[in-house]
Structures are given as C-alpha cells and as structure tokens.
Amino acid sequence: MAYYFRREMRYDFPPYTASEVDLNWDLAKDRVLVLAKETVLEDWQDAIYFFGAIGVRWRNWSDAPASWSIAWAWLHPYERRKEHLTRAWPFILEMFPSPHVESPLSPSMVSFLKKIGYEKPLQPPSANSWDI
C-alpha cells in the first residue's frame, strides 16, 4: 500500500519498507495500521480484504517534544468517503495520543481533519525537522 501511496502522491520512494527496521532499530516503535474488512468473493469462502493503511511514526523533533506522527495514509479509491477513517480515529488516538499529521496532505485529508476537529497545525512542528 506504500507503493500505491507513492504513485498517487508522486513520491520518489515509498513512505516505508518492511525491512527498514533492520537498518535502524530506532524505527522499531513505528507502526503501519492496516484497514481491512471481511467480504465474500465469488466462488471463494469468506476473505479478509485489505483496503488501506496508515503509517504512524515516533518522531524526535528538533523544535518540539518527541511525539507520534501520522506520516501517511492511503485508502483504495473505492473505499474512500465511507467513514472508515472516522471510525478508526478514536482507536488511533487511544494507541497514539495527540499525533501530528505530516504533509503532504491531499484535499480529502484536509477535509477529514477539519471534520474531526483536528486542532494542531496541519504541519508537524517543523517539516523535515525530525531526527531519524
């Protein structure tokens, strides 16, 4: 899903890779939350369908206290605007209190953040100021 995000947002590289912790153990607290639902496919038994993911990272900011940050999120276009993120938001806040949301932000994500009453700036303390 990171590759879908990369393609849609026109990044040069995906926002995470499964092997990045092997290179830097400081990234071991970072998480990728997968959005899934059960479905029945024709001629198949019940299946779990993964339709989105949210990347959450622990950031050590240079100009603010360390905190959780939502680095990226991607949902399949067919699953957007179906309240999935709205339903997941309380869980996200419980697991990762008071997260920052990193840019770039799509117009849809800006609308979502306004809808849920996100009160932090729509940029983390200083974009690109974290220590990795």
Least confident window among 63-67, 79-83, 120-124: 120-124
pLDDT at position 119 is: 80
**Inter-residue long-range contacts of 75-79, CB under 8 Å, 24+ positions, other chains counted:** 75/35, 75/51, 76/4, 76/51, 76/52, 78/51, 79/35, 79/51, 79/52
Q: Which of 22, 7, 124 is nearest to 71 (CA)?
A: 124
CATH number at residue 62: 3.40.630.30
Q: Please answer whether residues 128 and 99 qualify as being in contact, where contact means their C-beta atoms are separated by less than 8 angstroms.
A: no
Number of domains observed in the structure of the chain: 1
38-68 pLDDT per residue, tens: 776 666 667 777 888 898 988 888 888 888 9
Q: Is the pLDDT of residue 86 over 90?
A: yes
pLDDT at position 129 is: 43
pLDDT at position 83 is: 92
Domain range for residue 71? 2-131
Give helix 84-95 / helix 107-115 axis angle, nearest 10°.
Answer: 70
37 or 69: whose pLDDT is higher?
69
